[in-house]
């Protein structure tokens, strides 16, 4: 049985917490796309952690954590992350790395930085983790799979061949120092010794696990609107953020994915550039940003202040549809308790016409939000365990959202902690 946890919007929906919770009931947790460019924040008995590459299952001793073939694997970052857990007394997690995962090379990070600097004001707002150059190389067929570390002669030759090409860019486009193939080869040999204990055919491992009836959780990064095909291209990430890609990035059959839990935050936030129709500014934004998430809406990886806005139901309905949502997890609802009235975006006005269907990027740039204002509940809802015990206006907010997006909200998160969760008929749990 395979479940996926994915985001409906621009990322930072609070997937980390929901994954951490569901990982408890899973045998295996798999990262299937993305790299160390985004982060999940998890708060549990060991403390507060920002995970970038490791799956959220690493805190449980019964789960195996898999870095799938679809991931942009930054080996030194991964090793540091493992060490940071051990330093804080988390027992060594069981980790497997796909032999087909490709590696973020040191020059991917350099190229990302240089390109952002070259584009200056027109940049994509990259986190400079090398993700775009990494995936470009993967599809240009000049990337390096972990498996290639084991054929040293072929590896040496390939590194030289690729440095030749990259150095043209280094010299003539960026005017930066040239890459040294020998140094890169030596770095790769260090990477090899670092990953050696973890590398295996993870697709085969998952195949066998599924045959034995194990529960697998696919953990997505970012959200639907950052998908390179279905998102706000080109202000997207470089690997698919959709649950469907979980099959490819983990190496399992698509029909095995039975539950798709899409995480939606009770208001909007986004990092980086790109159209953001329900964005708010000034004091109103500053207050939401400061109160948002747990300790404010600032990037888990970069510390950058996030852009914030009201819940965008046009984007969310689309985001849930593209994921193939079976259940919605509605998060960070507690944060809205300070508002007298809560605006939500129920439509886009584009060239004088109102639509509730999410458009392509060029149309999106022109969209103006159509807002509906719902009454606030003006109280603290943390600590509440039962849906019926939520204030009436809070329930009305949830039910309005559910009706507009057309997917059932079965989990409500009313605080950052692991047990701050309200089930609404989720998996037979009605409490
Ligand atoms: P992810 O990338 O989707 O996992 O999102 P983040 O790691 O950025 O999580 C968003 C932030 O919200 C984190 O600081 C979480 O601890 C916090 N968080 C998650 N759920 C809730 C919630 O229900 N209420 C509050 N107040 N904070 C939450």
Q: Note the pLDDT tens digit of each residue in 384-419.
A: 999 999 999 999 999 999 999 999 999 999 999 888
pLDDT tens, position by position, 67-101:
999 999 999 999 999 999 999 999 999 999 999 99
CA-based nearest residue to 221, from 401, 84, 421, 68: 68
How much of the chain exceeds pLDDT 70, in percent? 98
pLDDT-wise least confident of 57-66, 224-233, 251-260: 57-66
pLDDT tens, position by position, 137-184:
999 999 999 999 999 999 999 999 999 999 999 999 999 999 999 999
Query: Is 53's C-beta closer than 6 angstroms to any atom of ligand 1?
Result: no
Which residues in 173-202 are b (16+ Cβ under 10 Å) and which e?
eeeeeebebeebbebbeebbeebeebbeeb
Ligand 1 atom 12: residue of nearest CA: 293
CA distance 147 to 130: 20
- The radius of gyration of the chain from alpha carbons, rounded to an integer in Å, stands at 22
Query: Is 219's C-beta closer than 6 angstroms to any atom of ligand 1?
Result: no
Ligand 1 atom 11: residue of nearest CA: 293
Which tokens is 85 given? Answer: 């857990």
Which one from 12, 27, 99, 334 is the annotated catalytic residue?
12
Helix or strand holding residue 350 (H, E):
strand 341-350
CA distances from 428 to 18, 127, 176 (A): 17, 41, 59
Known catalytic membership, residue 12: yes
CA distance 57 to 66: 9
Place of tokens 């936030």: 269
Q: How far is the CA of 296 from the centre of ligand 1 (A)?
A: 9
Q: How far is the CA of 183 from the centre of ligand 1 (A)?
A: 40
CA distance 270 to 241: 15
Whether 431 shows a pLDDT value over 70: the answer reads no
Kindly tell me the burial class for residue 129, based on how many C-beta atoms sit within 10 Å of its own C-beta (0-12, 13-18, 19 or more): buried
Query: Is 37's C-beta closer than 6 angstroms to any atom of ligand 1?
Result: no
E strands, 152-305, in order: 199-200, 216-219, 257-265, 268-270
Which tokens is 387 given? Answer: 């849906």
pLDDT-wise least confident of 18-22, 142-146, 209-213, 226-230: 18-22
pLDDT tens, position by position, 343-389:
999 999 999 999 999 999 999 999 999 999 999 999 999 999 999 99
Cis omega (within 30 of 0) on the bond before 234? yes
Q: What are the start-end ranges of the H helices in 348-415?
A: 361-364, 392-405
Task: List the beta bridge partners of residue 94.
Answer: 64
Atom in ligand 1 nearest the alpha carbon of residue 335: 26
Query: What's the average model confidence in pLDDT over 311-319?
Result: 98
Which tokens is 422 given? Answer: 């309200």
CA distance 166 to 72: 19
Q: How far is the CA of 79 from the centre of ligand 1 (A)?
A: 24
Whether 12 shows a pLDDT value over 90: the answer reads no
CA distance 285 to 309: 7
Query: Is 331's C-beta closer than 6 angstroms to any atom of ligand 1?
Result: yes
pLDDT of residue 43: 79
Which tokens is 138 given? Answer: 């993967």
Place of tokens 């008929």: 425
Known catalytic membership, residue 40: yes
* 3-class secondary-structure state, position 422: strand
Query: Is 412's C-beta closer than 6 angstroms to any atom of ligand 1?
Result: no
Atom in ligand 1 nearest the alpha carbon of residue 333: 23
pTM above 0.85, yes or no: yes
Contact 228, 70 (CB under 8 A): no
Tell whether the torsion through CA atoms of 204, 205, 208 and 213 is positive or negative: negative
* 3-class secondary-structure state, position 109: helix
pLDDT of residue 123: 72
DSSP 365: T
E strands, 68-225, in order: 72-73, 94-98, 102-103, 199-200, 216-219
Whether 218 shows a pLDDT value over 90: the answer reads yes
CA distances from 380 to 288, 334, 353 (A): 15, 7, 38
Q: How far is the CA of 294 from the centre of ligand 1 (A)?
A: 6
Helix or strand holding residue 6 (H, E):
strand 2-7
Task: Compute CA 111 distance to the chain's CA centroid, rounded to the nearest angstrom.
Answer: 23
Mean pLDDT for the chain overall? 93
Query: Is 337's C-beta closer than 6 angstroms to any atom of ligand 1?
Result: no
Query: Is 50's C-beta closer than 6 angstroms to any atom of ligand 1?
Result: no
CA distance 85 to 402: 38
Query: Is 220's C-beta closer than 6 angstroms to any atom of ligand 1?
Result: no
Using alpha carbons only, give the angle 117, 123, 128 rounded to the nearest 5 degrees. Answer: 65
């Amino acid at each position: 049985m395979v479940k996926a946890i994915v985001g409906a919007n621009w990322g930072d929906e609070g997937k980390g917490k929901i994954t951490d919770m569901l990982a408890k009931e899973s045998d295996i947790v798999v990262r299937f796309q993305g790299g160390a460019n985004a982060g999940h924040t998890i708060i549990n008995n060991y403390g507060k952690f920002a995970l970038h590459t490791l799956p959220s299952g690493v805190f449980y001793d019964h789960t195996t954590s898999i870095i799938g073939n679809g991931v942009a694997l930054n080996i030194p970052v991964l090793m540091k992350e493992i060490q940071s857990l051990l330093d804080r007394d988390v027992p060594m997690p069981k980790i497997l790395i796909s032999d087909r995962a490709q590696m973020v090379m040191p020059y991917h990070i350099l190229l990302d930085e240089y390109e952002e600097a070259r584009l200056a004001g027109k940049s994509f707002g990259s986190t400079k983790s090398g993700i775009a150059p990494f995936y470009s190389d993967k599809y240009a067929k000049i990337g390096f799979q972990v498996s290639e570390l084991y054929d040293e002669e072929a590896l040496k030759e390939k590194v030289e061949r690729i440095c030749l090409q990259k150095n043209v860019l280094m010299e003539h486009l960026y005017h930066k120092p040239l890459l040294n193939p020998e140094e890169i080869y030596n770095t790769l040999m260090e990477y090899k010794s670092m990953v050696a204990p973890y590398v295996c055919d993870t697709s085969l491992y998952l195949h066998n696990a599924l045959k034995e009836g194990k529960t697998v959780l696919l953990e997505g990064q970012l959200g639907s609107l950052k998908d390179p095909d279905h998102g706000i291209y080109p202000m997207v990430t470089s690997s698919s953020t959709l649950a469907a890609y979980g099959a490819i990035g983990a190496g399992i059959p698509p029909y095995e994915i039975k539950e798709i839990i899409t995480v939606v935050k009770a208001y909007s936030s986004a990092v980086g550039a790109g159209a953001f129709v329900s964005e708010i500014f000034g004091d109103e934004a500053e207050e939401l940003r400061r109160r948002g998430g747990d300790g404010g809406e600032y990037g888990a990886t970069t510390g950058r202040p996030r852009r914030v806005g009201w819940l965008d139901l046009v984007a969310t309905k689309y985001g849930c549809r593209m994921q193939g949502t079976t259940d919605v997890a509605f998060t960070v609802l507690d944060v809205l308790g300070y508002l007298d009235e809560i605006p939500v975006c129920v439509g886009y006005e584009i060239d004088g016409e109102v639509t509730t269907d999410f458009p392509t990027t060029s149309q999106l740039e022109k969209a103006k939000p159509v807002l509906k204002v719902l009454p606030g509940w003006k109280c603290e809802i943390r600590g509440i365990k039962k849906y019926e015990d939520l204030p009436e206006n809070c329930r009305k907010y949830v039910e309005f959202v559910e009706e507009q997006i057309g997917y059932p909200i079965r989990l409500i998160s009313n605080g950052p902690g692991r047990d701050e969760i309200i089930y609404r008929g989720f998996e037979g749990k009605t409490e």
